[in-house]
A and B are shown apart, each in its own frame.
Chain A
Amino acid sequence: MADLIKIRARFKEGVTEIKVLMSHPMETGRRKNDFDELVPAHFIQLVTATLNGKPVLEAQWGTGVSKNPYLTFRLRSAKPGDKVAITWHDNKGQSNGIETTVEAA
């Protein structure tokens, strides 16, 4: 299986930009399959990001975020070598997380 989360954190001129790509179906619960049956809702509800273990971002999501969610955010409090971690939780109780080290651009 491909990585469930891809992440990159780059420090440039005082700002660290973090780009995250999550692998998730993000089903709304309104789509029908080929047999005309509704596909149950299956979507990420919460994404949290930490910098060296301290929370920096909490994203609550509905079903309107696109399949395989993409997210960019920025930190002014990070420097090269710092640890940025991401965790997601979905409505079926599944979760996944990843950690990366901030690189100098």
Chain B
Amino acid sequence: MNRRTWIASALALGAVAISLPLRALAAVWNKAAFEAEHVDQALKGLGVAQSGLSRDILLTAPDMAENGAIVQIEVESRIPGTEAIAILVEKNPTPLIANFIFSNGADPYVVTRIKMAETSELKAIVKAGGQYYTVTKKVEVALGGCG
């Protein structure tokens, strides 16, 4: 292979490497659910028809958040066969914050930091065995954090 053909093939490879994740991303990201402006629409986008309250979801968040731009939350599901955990903030402009999907020995457990526009119910929805389970917690927000 001479230098010119090597460069051409390297460029072609690069184009494939860049375009693949983009196409995959467009297929994966749940646009309807994430762009929904109401919890009901977001849940519909996630495919949640109904969810039962569960004591086996541990949702830890502050009762009172000084700064809505950074609210640390922890969610752990003790429901056997948990496949996914979604996090929603009812009063945010777009309520769906995140959807975590677990596989191959990952614990149904996450800690992350989220934005809250105002005092609101925080909701975790767990998917397990084709069923949905939920828990909510109210978080008071002193200074809203959704710019």
Residues of A within 8 A of B (CB): 15, 28, 30-32, 39, 45-46, 49, 51, 54-67, 69-78, 87, 89, 93, 95
Contact = CB atoms under 8 A, between A and B. Distances in A.
Contacts of B109: 72-74
Nearest to B93: A30
A66 B115 CA distance: 5
Interface string B96-112: 11111111111101111
Contact of A64 (B18, B111, B115): B115
Interface residues of B, number: 40
A54 B22 contact: no
Given A65-B114, A66-B69, A70-B112, A56 B99 contact: no
B6 interface: no
A60 B106 contact: no
A69 B95 CA distance: 17
Contacts of A15: 107
Given A46-B29, A61-B97, A71 B112 contact: yes
A64 B98 contact: yes
B30 interface: yes
B97 A62 contact: yes
A57 B107 CA distance: 9
A75 B29 CA distance: 24
Contacts of A93: 18, 22
Given A51-B104, A56-B104, A70-B113, A65 B21 contact: no
A46 B92 CA distance: 20
Interface string B71-102: 11000000000000000010011111111111
Which 9 pairs between the two chains have the least Cβ-Cβ distance? A77-B105, A31-B147, A72-B111, A64-B97, A74-B107, A62-B34, A66-B113, A56-B106, A58-B101
Nearest to A39: B147
A45 B93 CA distance: 17
